[in-house]
Each structure stands twice: as structure tokens, then as C-alpha cells.
Amino acid sequence: MEYFLIVLSTVLFGGQFIALDAYQNHNGKSYRSILFFCTIFAFTGAFIFLALNGFVIGFSSYTLLMTLLAAAIQMLLQFAGIKALSLGRVEIYSLFNVAGGMSVAYIFGITYFQEEIKWYHLVGLALIILCLLIPVIFEKKDNKKSSWIFWVLCVVVFLANGFFGTINKIHIVSGEGLPVKEYMFYMYSWMFLLSISSFFILSLFAKKEEKPLYQYKPVLFALLYGLLNGFGMFMQYMYADTIPASILFPLSNAGCIVFSLIIGCIAYKKKPKLQDIAQMVVALIGMSLFFF
């Protein structure tokens, strides 16, 4: 059941990229637009976990601090990602983003939690990274040379995505704070507070001729993202205390690669390219090795 829910969570995470893309097609990719997006989806996530917990939330100073740290890292990930995508290739950004989400958590699992190192898990990790290299190698490149700032931001994304999952895992395993649903409520609440306060500060300096963000279609896409992200996080971390970090995060990231490609082809009604099929096959093989 645990592994089924993890795979199901990756289906939801794969779908959220379509919701984000649809939102950005309407409202663009400015910092103010992304903060507006984060405000809505974070509020949605907080409400989901408040409802799942029967509208009763406990208090723990440890949980409060850990969720603030997780929310701050998530906001850093959003901002660094936006800037990186404006400066360089999306394939390279995706490589750093997913590789960080797997590698940092994997290393932390075998060092901090003393999890067992298995050779076929290392092979699986290598295959998942290989599948990320396929579009980097074969995708048509533009003549624009990536600046050093782009590479610095990619490293920030690598570390931020890895530490975000690691912090969540540490809190859940420690047993010192609140249960998962209440932890997630506080994390989304912090994200909401950070996003909405930053949004209003930026709005004070926004140009009057900027496109209004409060339109029903982009708001609906942000709400959809919040629903997919919230339930996906719930499924991913429900059994995080029993599934090793060195398995949970590589499995989750590999699933996101596979299902984001599949859902993208369905949503945009496009025929998958040879490199898309190669990516999915390699990712599935790598993913399957973590079931043993």
C-alpha cells in the first residue's frame, strides 16, 4: 500500500506541472505573478490539511520551526527556479532540480539514518539521472550562452529541493513534533504568509499598466495546483516514517518524470518524441529497482 500511494502521488505531481503551465500562460512568469500563484496554492494546501484533520490543529514549537524552515526553502526554490529558467535551458534546470531532490535525500538517508546501501539502488539512481541527461544531450540548443548566475541558481535549486524533502523526513521520523497532517498544515500556512506578505510588498512597486492577476481562469489553475500538490504531499509522506529516504525520494522523482511526460502528451495532444520514450523507459527501469 505504501508504494502504491507513492506512485499515485507522482501522478498528481505530474499533473500539477500542467496546471502551473496553464497558469503561466495567462499570468506570465514575473515574481509578482508567481507570488500570487503561491499564495493561492498554499492557502488551498493549508485548507486541505485543516479539513483532513477535522478542523482541529495542535501546537508544537518544534513543528512550527521546522515548517517555517521548509516553507522558506520552498520559497527559495520557487524564486531561484523562476530566475534560472529565464537565463538558461529548461533541460539543465530540470536535471539539477530532480537530481537534487534524489541525491541529497539519498546521501542523507545512508549517512544520517544509517540506511542500507544496495548496489541496485545505486544503479537505479544512475539510470534516473541518465534519463534526465537525454534531453540535455539531444534537445536542440540555442546560441545563447548560459551565464554564471544561471549555474549558481541551478546549484541553489539542487540543494534546496534536496533539503526540502530531507527536512520533512527528519520531522516525520523524529516523532518529536505533530503528526503529518498537522505538519503539512503549518508548512502550507507559512508558505501562504510568506507569499502573501511578499506579494503585497511587490504590489506597492508594481507598474499600474501591469496585467491584472485576479482573473478566474488563472485562479482556478492555481487552485487545481494546490489540490494536486496537497493530496500528492499527503500520499507521499503518509508512510515516510517507514519507507527509507534513500528509496522514497528517488522513487518519487522518477515517477514525476514518467507521469509528467505522459500527462503532458495527453494534455497537449502531442505525439511523444523518440527521446521522450527513451526517457520514460530508462526512468521506469531505474524506478523499478527501488521496489526491491
Q: What is the pLDDT of residues 237-267, one digit of tens each?
A: 988 888 999 999 999 999 998 998 899 888 8
**DSSP tag of 179:** -
Residue 16 · residue 223 · CB < 8 Å: no
Residue 125 · residue 77 · CB < 8 Å: no
**CB neighbourhood size of 277 (10 A):** 11
Residue 263 · residue 126 · CB < 8 Å: no
Residue 288 confidence (pLDDT): 93
Residue 271 confidence (pLDDT): 87
Structure-block grid coordinates of residue 257: 518524470
* Of the candidates 92, 26, 18, the residue with the CA atom closest to the CA atom of residue 264: 18
Helix residue spans in the chain (DSSP H): 2-27, 31-52, 61-87, 90-111, 119-138, 148-174, 180-204, 216-237, 245-267, 274-288
Helix residue spans in 88-179 (DSSP H): 90-111, 119-138, 148-174
Residue 32 · residue 206 · CB < 8 Å: yes
Tell me the mean pLDDT in the region 99-123: 91
Q: What is the pLDDT of residues 204-245, one digit of tens each?
A: 887 765 666 778 899 999 999 999 999 999 999 988 888 999
Q: What is the pLDDT of residues 131-174, one digit of tens each?
A: 989 888 876 666 556 678 889 999 999 999 999 999 999 998 88
Tell me the mean pLDDT in the region 94-114: 90
**CB neighbourhood size of 133 (10 A):** 15
Domain map of the chain by residue range? 2-291
Residue 211 confidence (pLDDT): 66
Q: What share of the chain is helix, strand, coil (3-state, %, to 5)?
A: 80, 0, 20
Residue for cell digits 517507514?
A: 242
Residue for cell digits 498554499?
A: 42
* Of the candidates 249, 291, 286, the residue with the CA atom closest to the CA atom of residue 128: 286
Rounded alpha-carbon distances, angstroms, from residue 42 to 170, 184, 191: 22, 10, 6
